[in-house]
Amino acid sequence: MSVQTRILIVEDQYFFRLALRTTIEARPDMQIVGETDKGDEALALCRQLLPDVVIMDLRLPGLSGFEAIDLIHRELPGIGVLVLSNYEGSEDVHRALASGALAYLTKDAGADELVKALLSVRAGHRYVPASIGALLAARVPSSALTDREVDVLRLLAKGRSNREIGEKLGIAENTVRIHVSRILDKLGVADRTQAVLLAIQNGLVHVD
């Protein structure tokens, strides 16, 4: 039997917590270890319960979700945070990801997508739906990427692997991996394909 993903819910809407509980408890590979409706209790519960993933609302009484994410990320970086919010403005998404969240979903996301995002965060991977990533792309100027990151992105757009990019640019494959991770963070996307599509759409790179 696989190890269960241990989840802490930080959400101030009671009925939405019930809906989350129904979805999560139907999964034998997931377990809710705690709940709170206050942002300032999130860090204390993370210290006590050591969940794998925190589902975090952004608009909370007292300490905001943004502040709670930042505190958790600084003190307990091994805990992944999945934001679940009514808000999908690019600034909210950017701020949440910059604070340390790995995933961002709106509250109208379906159960299947929620589970997919939880499993992705549990594995330490970013999860940002393409629709939300598209919002972010418009706010990322080309100057946000370093010259080397633009070089890497251009080669990604040509379908090159990390090894091939490293050979082309004369850098280690692990260094390429770091550049790719930073590119995904800056563009607010989940994977290389989304990064290339958004970069091309917004003129950050051009494919010959």
Q: Where are the domains positioned within the chain?
A: 5-127, 138-201
- On whether the CB atoms of residues 132 and 93 are closer than 8 A, the answer is yes
Fold match flag (5-127 vs 138-201):
no
pTM for this prediction: 0.68
pLDDT the model gives residue 203: 65
Neighbours of 10 (CB within 10 A): 30
Q: What is the pLDDT of residues 63-77, one digit of tens each?
A: 899 999 999 999 999
Q: What is the pLDDT of residues 102-122, one digit of tens each?
A: 999 999 999 999 999 999 999
Fold of the 5-127 domain: Rossmann fold (3.40.50)
The answer on pLDDT for 188 being more than 80 is no
> What average pLDDT score do residues 149-163 get?
91
